[in-house]
Amino acid sequence: MFLPIYQALSKEQKDINPEEFIEGFRVFDKDSNGFISAAELRHLLTALGERLREDEVDQLLAGMENGQGLVPYEAFVQRILG
């Protein structure tokens, strides 16, 4: 799956460090358990910085959310960086 967020990132930076993204998500990991709220992640992706459309966010989050409405952000970073 070739996602717009990856395209935007790869244009700006050739050496993308996944750990930098993971560190950024840790700020939102209130329980320090490796998860971020899917609702909060959706808000971040649609309201801040390079805003994504709802359908783009749906693609990114497809199959990532657990039964408690949480997304494992390390796996999410792996998905967007391929």
Q: Which domain holds residue 65?
A: 4-81
Task: Report which listed range, 20-24, 52-56, 70-74, is most confident.
Answer: 70-74
Model pLDDT for residues 25-40, shown as the tens digit of each residue: 999 999 999 999 999 9
pLDDT number for residue 79? 86
More confident residue, 14 or 81: 81
Query: Nearest Cα to 77, choosing from 29, 10, 21?
Result: 21
* Number of domains comprising the chain: 1
Task: Flag whether the pTM goes above 0.85.
Answer: no
More confident residue, 10 or 33: 33
- 61-79: average pLDDT: 94
- The CATH number assigned to the domain holding 73 equals 1.10.238.10
